[in-house]
Chains A and B, each alone.
Chain A
Amino acid sequence: MNEQSIVIMDAVNLNYHSPEGETPALEDISLSVSKGEFISIVGPSGCGKTTILSLIAGLIRPTSGRILIEGKEVDGPSSKTGYMLQQDHLFEWRTIQQNVLLGLEIQGKITKENKRRAIHLLETYGLADFRDHYPWQLSGGMRQRVALIRTLAINPDLLLLDEPFSALDYQTRLALSDEVAGIIRKEEKTALLVTHDISEAISMSDRILVLSKRPGSVKSEYSIHLTGENRSPVELRKAPEFRNYFNKIWKELDVHVS
C-alpha cells in the first residue's frame, strides 16, 4: 500500500440485510490499486464482485473496514470514479449526445469546455455521425461504446466496469474489449473490471484477483505478463504465456457443471 495507490480497501466486510435474513457478501477484502493499473476481478456468480464496485463507487457503506480513494475515505459517489454497468442503459428519450452529457448535467458541470471534451470523445471514437441519433438506431457494440464515453465524459480517474461486454455477442465483444482497453490506456485511466470471462481478464489486465465463493474474499492474485508485439488484447491472446494463466485461473475458480 504505497502512496501511489488510487484505491485502497482495508479489511472490508459487508453484510446485506433483508427481512429474510443477513447475507455476508464480502469477508476481509483488502486490496490496493495503483494509478494506471488495469485490474480484473473474477469469481463465481454471487460472490460479491458487484458489491466491491458498489462500495468503491460510494453507493453503499462497508459493514466494517475502510475504503480510500486517493487517500480520502469514500463517503458517497464522487466524480473521481466512473461506473459502467453491464447494460448500457442509454436513455431512449435522449439523443446520443444528450446521453453522453448526462453525468456532467447531473454534476452541474456543463461548461463549454467540458461539453467540447465530451463531443471530442464521440468524434475520436467514431461516433460523431451519430450524435443526434437515438439509442435504438445504434448497434449493441456502439451503444456500449457510448456508455463508456458517457462514463469518461465526467473525466474520472478511476473506471469501474461491471461485466461491460457480457450482453454482447462474441465477435463484438472481442472487438470492443480491444477498443475499450485502447481507450482506457490512451486516456490514462485506472480500471477495475469485473468479468466472468477468464480470457478477457488475462488479455486486458495487469493483475487479476480471484475471489472465493460467497462470502467473497481474495483467494489468489496473478500479475499478468504477456509477451507480444503490441498491447492489443486480441493479439495478446496469442501470447505463449496465455494458456498457462488460463489453466491456473480455471482450476482456481473450480468451475463445476453439475
Chain B
Amino acid sequence: MPTIGDQHIVKSYDEELKRLHDSLARMAGLAEAQLHKSVEALEKRDSDLAGQVMNADHEIDEIEHFINEQTVRVLALRAPVADDLRQVISALKVAGDIERIADHAANAAKRSLVLNQMPPVAPMRSLVRMGKLVAELLGEVLNAYLTHDAERALAVRSRDQEVDDLYSSLFREILTYMMEDARTITSCSHLMFIAKNIERVGDHATNIAEQTYFVATGRSLNDQRPKRDTSSFEGAVQE
C-alpha cells in the first residue's frame, strides 16, 4: 500500500527545495545578526561595528538574488502544488522582507556613524530598548518561519503593537527633547530616522509571521491589525 512520506519521489526536487530552505536560513541568520550589531553599535557608539554592518549588506543581497532565481527555476521546472507551492511562494516573499530588514539595519548603522561625531543624546536609551525588542521578535519570527510554526508566528505578530507603542512614545520623547534644546536637533533627527528604520523592521517581521501562517495552514491572515502608532498625526518626518 502506498504511503506518504516527507520525501518526493524525485530526489532532485527535494534537493532544490532544501537548497531554497537553507539559503533562507542563512539569509535569516545574517539579517538577524546585522540588526543585533547595528543596535549594539548604537548603544556602544562603536563605529567599527557599524562599519562591519554596512560592509556585510551585499552578502544578503546576493542570497536574495539566488533565492529569486531558484524560486523561478522551481516554479518553471517543477510546477509545485499544495504545501510545496506555498513554501516556494513564501520563500520569494520572505526573502524580500529579509532583504529590506537588512537594508534598514545597514541604514541605522550608517546614521550611527554620524551620531558618533556628536555628543550623546538621552532618547538613545529608549531607541536601543526598541531595537532590542525588535531584534528579539525578529529572531522569534524567523525561527517560526523556518520551522513552519504558525502558533509561534502568531504570538510574534500580536506583539508588533508593543513596537508601535514604543515607537510612538519614542517619537514624542525625541520631539520634546529637540524643543527643549535646539542644539540637539541634528542628532535627534538622525535618531528619528533610525527609529523609523527599526519600526519598519517590525512591520517586515509581521509580514514574515503572516507568511508562516500561510505556509503552515494554507490560509491567509487578512484581518487588519489595529494600528495605534500615532506619530504620523504629529507631523512625523517620513523617510
Answer yes or no: do A and B interact: no
Point out residues on B near A: beta carbons under 8 Å: none
